[in-house]
Amino acid sequence: MDLGSSSAPFDSSQRDQLMDTVKQQIALANAQEILQRMSEKCFKKCIVKPGSSLDNSEQKCIAMCMDRYMDSWNLVSRVYSSRLSKERAKM
């Protein structure tokens, strides 16, 4: 279905609002996936003996792991966005 055609059931503002809603839902799903992956990876790396609480070294390990994971993800995202922008400019 072509959302830009005159036979589409949405006018321009409705289409823009729908696109914004979809973009927000995709961003939320991506954020949830990142948190899940980060939690799984850092838990496996830092929690050797699961118990009722985290000891000091486990807390530090998790904090550092999550910081590194987010730094890496941000770097990859920036590079990917930059490459997309360059590719779009070539078109």
For residue 8, the model assigns a pLDDT of: 58
- For the packed helices 12-46 and 56-90, what is the interaxial angle rounded to 10 degrees? 140
Question: For residues 26 and 4, what is the distance between their CA atoms, to the nearest angstrom?
Answer: 21
* Burial bucket for residue 23 (CB in 10 Å: 0-12, 13-18, 19+): exposed
- Measured in residues, the chain has a length of 91
Q: Would you place residue 61 in the very low, low, confident or very high pLDDT band (cuts 50, 70, 90)?
A: very high
* Residues 8-15, mean pLDDT to the nearest whole number: 80
For residue 65, the model assigns a pLDDT of: 96
**The pTM is what?**
0.64
Give me the domains of the chain, ranges plus CATH numbers. Answer: 12-90 (1.10.287.810)
List pLDDT tens digits, range 66-80: 999 999 999 999 999
